[in-house]
Structure 1
Amino acid sequence: MSNQPRSRLAVAGLSLGTALNPLNSSMIAVALVVLRADFGLDVATVTWVITSFYLSSAAGQPLMGRLADRFGPRRMFTLGMALVAVTCALAPLSPNFALLCVARAVMALGTAAAYPSAVVMVGVMVHQTGGPQQAGQRSSRPLGYIQMANTSAAAVGPVIGGLLVGFVGWEALFLINVPLALAAMLIVRRAAPADAARERGSFAELVRDSDIPGILGFVSSLLLVMMALLDVAPGYRWLLLGAGTVTAALFAWRELRFRPPFLDLRLLGRNRPLMLVYVGFALFNSVYYFAFFGLPQLLQESGGYEPGLVGLLMLPLAAASVVATPWAVRAMGKFGVRRVLISGVVLLAAVAALMWLLTQSLAIPLVLALTALMGVPFGAVSIASNQGMFVSTRPQERGVAAGIFQTCRYLGAITATVLIGVFAADGVDQESWGLMTLTMLIVTAAAFGVTLLWRERRD
């Protein structure tokens, strides 16, 4: 098989593997009622099947990215997919709900290896097919395919989940991952380039240089802060937030003194373009998830629409984002990453302003138009931010950089969830939607300011 078909096949396998995380984060939503009935749970308890996946994904992305940088992306991708296949084969046998949540967390850790490993492998493939000067431009197309696969998986997740739960049961939500993970693993093993020589040495040396306390500090601080934001332990939110802040400070203190650190904070501090990409992406996702999480609640609670119809009304968002992604890839090749980013954020501001119309009417044609419009900046800004992260990072650091990039997506989503709870504690109605629209515009203005400051890094 020649290099070009092999590269295309490898991107297909990487796209399939990275799609498992958004697929499993969305299709579980339709199984909550069934899980409550099967295990005799209340509403608060059953949400842990979502929260465990969320927390493990957010904390695991940078960790798995660091391991991909150290030991090879193909090796880590294979390990991640194998972990998903084994865990999902055993999960339906769980005798209680607690073990089911553990299985979801382990599965999330396996899927978390896919995206940062894919970004590192894309860098390897584009360097093999062109010189370093073309690497940034040539990477936009495979990263675009991966982005489209992830967006599509998140969109069709509830539909697939509904069919699986309806015809088979909640167990099928795990079992469907087994053939998908094995297929992704075998495709990547066959078509992706072999890992270059990475770190070698005795087991004791590898453990010593792995900065285990730094890794534990990073994961612990992130988990504590996210648990506080999600209010997973009612009454202890501020205690968790304080503990997370202290742990983060200790983590930073250690990383500035340890060599080699798990996360090079000095280098990250000097890499202004990468920091701006992270901040802008987190702000952008806060706005996007306001619409993604808030609009379905508005349509059901204030509009009286059935859940099935609401799902159909949200589909144009995913469809438009899939269409917008290849357009954004072509535009980046012609106009550059920065101009596409700025254009996407400006369009996001316009759509956020139009969302105010929903305070006056929830007519189906208006909802369809607005959800489709929201998908355009989502597709454009997502792939442009992805590309901005890629070109702002040195090849040997792209794994951990991609992991942190994904964590910024989760932080944006969690921020939106918390703010929706603040503005609409008693339910999302048209009055609270007006306040949420104003908040979206304020956050979009901040994202616009960050985007204007960003410049492509040139070493």
Structure 2
Amino acid sequence: MGIEGKRKEGDRMELARTAMKRKDLLLITAVALGILLNPLNTTMISVALARLQEDFQLTFGEVSWLISTYYLASAIGQPLMGKWSDLYGRKRIFMFGLLLVTAASCLAPLSPSFGWLIGFRIIQAFGSSALFPAGMGIIRGQITSGQAQALGIVSIFSSTSAAFGPSIGGFLLHYGDWPLIFLCNFPFIIGSFLLAWKLFPRDPKPEGGAMAMDWTGVALFSATIFMWLLFFLSLASGFSLWQFAVGAALTYGLYRYELRRKQPFINVAFLRDNRNVTLIYVQFILTNIAFYSIMFGIPSYLQQVQGMDPQQTGLVMLSIAGFSVVVTPLVGRWIERSGSKRPLLVGTAAVVAGSLLMLLIGDRASALTIFLVLSVLGIANGFNNLGMQTSLYAFVAKEETGIASGLFMTSRFIGTILSSSLLAALFGDTITSGHLHSMAWVCAALGLLMLALTARMPQGSSATD
């Protein structure tokens, strides 16, 4: 082959590589647009809680069920849909999830009662729960070059979309009403659906079937999560001994049953044999209790006590999202150099500092003061989200990534369930600055526990170890 021929061949190869990179980018976009629906819909609703209380004549404790049930369904749906994507095909389950979100987003604005609205949110939660495990499986199967970078991009969409939720929700409520929070899903759904339909590979013939599922484990896990949710929500009116006893018994029964299963719904043997991983899950639960207590509690406080409208609330809450996005790439570079322990120490210390700074927020606090306090918590969120993910994979072999990732997301959902229970117990029928300060003390205590767990991590842990 002559020089001219070699040049043409090189040009063809370069064009092929460019086309492949473009296809990979579009595939990542399809997955990212899908998986942001779950965290985005979680926190967008936080700005609308005060409006929903007024519309349906509810207390804060009652309206908090809108949050609790969403994450109850997500905690169950995430591992369930992940298993289904392995059995029936990732493209099928991804598209099925998008269809469920579409149906729920269409019907929720037409809800004749609060009970119907909760039902449609549960459908939305199950649908959006299918998108993360199926989408991550497709990326790992299709993108062989730069896979870590691809997974990192998707993780940013997953983590930071939650922080932007209150700001987006605030603008939507300013120009409309709470139904817009559901209708705004359609640009993301349509974009993800069209790209996924065109770019996702065809699924192989399904292997196994419904009998391959550990349905007893699913039922036990669902009952366990529901009972603990019921127990924590009831703490506002007193300690229920029977709920605590039933929750503990179900937890033990789930552990003993799943330990004997060859293909368990929740791999408790994996948790038992990986102490560092288990403690990371515990820390991630604590992280999300603090983060989502703030994300759900502050918007209602700003509207009911500070008298802000939804747009002003959204602008103030933008401090959390903005600072979280700004620090994330900086944290990533720090983690690459020195591991995740030091950044996590900074992040958990920022949770303590930001929570204590909330004590400065009173009935007459300025918007600037609130913005600056929340900025500290936004910085903490950026450090903790990326730090927790990279510290997890430092202790997980590549062949265990799927198990570890699924349980990591379940930990997030458990944390958010507990956050709504905490808010229901602290805020009750009304919200005051005193209630906000009680939440601040609890979040500071959680931050100290997170700091202690981070301190016990091996030095220099990173995803590349």
> TM class, shorter-chain normalised?
0.7 to 0.9
User: Unmatched 5+ residue regions in structure 1?
Assistant: none
Matches for 1:86-97 after TM superposition, within 5 Å? 86-91=103-108, 97=114
Equivalents in 1 of 2:164, 2:456: separation in Å? Answer: 31
CA gap of 1:438–1:93, structure 2 versus 1, over 3 A, is closer
2:322 to 294, 319, 323: 319
1:400 deviation in Å? 4.9
> Do structure 1's residue 186 and structure 2's residue 201 form an aligned pair?
no
Q: Does 1:328 align with 2:344?
A: no
User: What aligned pairs does 1:162-311 form with structure 2 within 5 A after superposition?
Assistant: 162-165=174-177, 170=179, 172-192=180-200, 200-201=207-208, 206-231=209-234, 238-300=241-303, 303-306=306-309, 308-311=311-314
Q: 1:159 maps to what in 2?
A: 171
Query: Does the 8 Å CA contact 2:170/2:311 hold for their aligned counterparts?
Result: no
**Alignment of 1:78 onto 2:95:** yes
Distance 1:295 1:48 in 2: 17
Provide the residue aligned with 1:409 in structure 2: 412
User: Within the alignment, does 1:364 sit opposite 2:372 as a pair?
Assistant: no
Q: Would you say the 8 A contact 1:225–1:241 is kept in 2?
A: yes
| Structure 1 residue 12: Cα displacement | 1.7
Among 153, 160, 172, which residue is 1:148 paired with?
Answer: 160
* Match of residue 129 from structure 1: 145
**Which residue of 441, 444, 448 maps to 2:444?**
441
From 137, 152, 167, give the equivalent of 1:120. 137
The structural deviation recorded for 1:110 is 0.3
* Corresponding letter in the other structure for 1:180: F
Matched, 1:25 2:42: yes
Amino acid aligned to 2:129: A
CA shift at 1:295, angstroms? Answer: 3.5
Deviation (angstroms), 1:429: 4.3
**1:67 corresponds to which letter in structure 2?**
W
Q: How many matched pairs?
A: 444
In structure 2, C-alpha distance between the alignment counterparts of 1:91 and 1:432, rounded to whole Å: 31
Tell me how far apart the structure 1 counterparts of residues 360 and 114 of structure 2 sit (CA, whole Å).
42
Percent identity at matched positions?
28
Of 36, 59, 75 in structure 2, the residue corresponding to residue 58 of structure 1 is 75
Who wins on radius of gyration, i.e. which is larger?
2
The superposition leaves residues 189-247 of structure 1 with CA deviations (integer Å, 9 ceiling, x where unpaired) of: 4345666x69724xxxx333311111111122112211322339978955444333322
Deviations 1:330-375 (A, max 9, x none): 3323332333222322333333333333369723322111112211
Q: CA deviation at 1:255?
A: 0.8
Deviation sequence 1:169-198 (CA, Å, 0-9, x none): 73x544443453232122234345666x69
Distance 2:107 2:364 in 1: 48
Q: 1:8 aligns with which of 25, 34, 38?
A: 25
Measured in 1, the distance between the counterparts of 2:79 and 2:295 equals: 25
User: Secondary structure of 1:259's match?
Assistant: coil
Work out the CA distance in 2 between the residues paired with 1:426 and 1:82: 36
TM-score (norm 2): 0.81
Contact persistence 1:116–1:400 (CA under 8 A): no
Distance 1:85 1:398, change over 3 A: farther
Cα distance, 1:57 vs structure 2: 1.8
How far does residue 303 in structure 1 lie from its aligned partner after superposition?
A: 4.4
Tell me the equivalent position of 1:67: 84
Pairwise CA distance, 1:311: 3.3
Alpha-carbon contact 1:59-1:223 (below 8 Å) kept? no
CA distance in 2, matches of 1:339, 1:160: 39
Task: Give RMSD over aligned pairs.
Answer: 3.6
Change over 3 Å in CA distance of 1:365–1:161 after alignment to 2 = closer
- Residues 198 and 366 (structure 1), Cα distance of their counterparts in 2 relative to 1, 3 Å cut: farther
CA contact (8 A) 2:68 2:420 kept: no
The 1-side partners of 2:173 and 2:39 are apart by 12
Alpha-carbon distance in 2 for matches of 1:403, 1:259: 17
Per mean C-alpha deviation after superposition, the further-off stretch among 411-420 and 253-262 is 411-420
Q: Deviations over 1:92-123 (max 9, x none)?
A: 56666544432221111000112233333444
When structure 1 is superposed on structure 2, of 26-35 and 304-313 the one drifting more is: 26-35
Runs of 5+ consecutive residues of structure 2 not aligned to the other structure: 1-17
Q: Which amino acid aligns with 2:124?
A: M
Match of 2:358 in 1: 355
Deviates more, 1:80-89 or 1:367-376: 80-89
Give the Cα separation in 1 of the matches to 2:76 and 2:373. Answer: 33
Do 1:13 and 1:185's aligned partners in 2 also have CA atoms closer than 8 Å? yes
Hey, what's the Cα distance between the residues in 1 that align with 2:119 and 2:309?
Answer: 32
For 2:193, give the aligned amino acid: M
Distance 1:420 1:103 in 2: 23
Paired residues of 2:31 and 2:136 also in contact (CA < 8 A): no
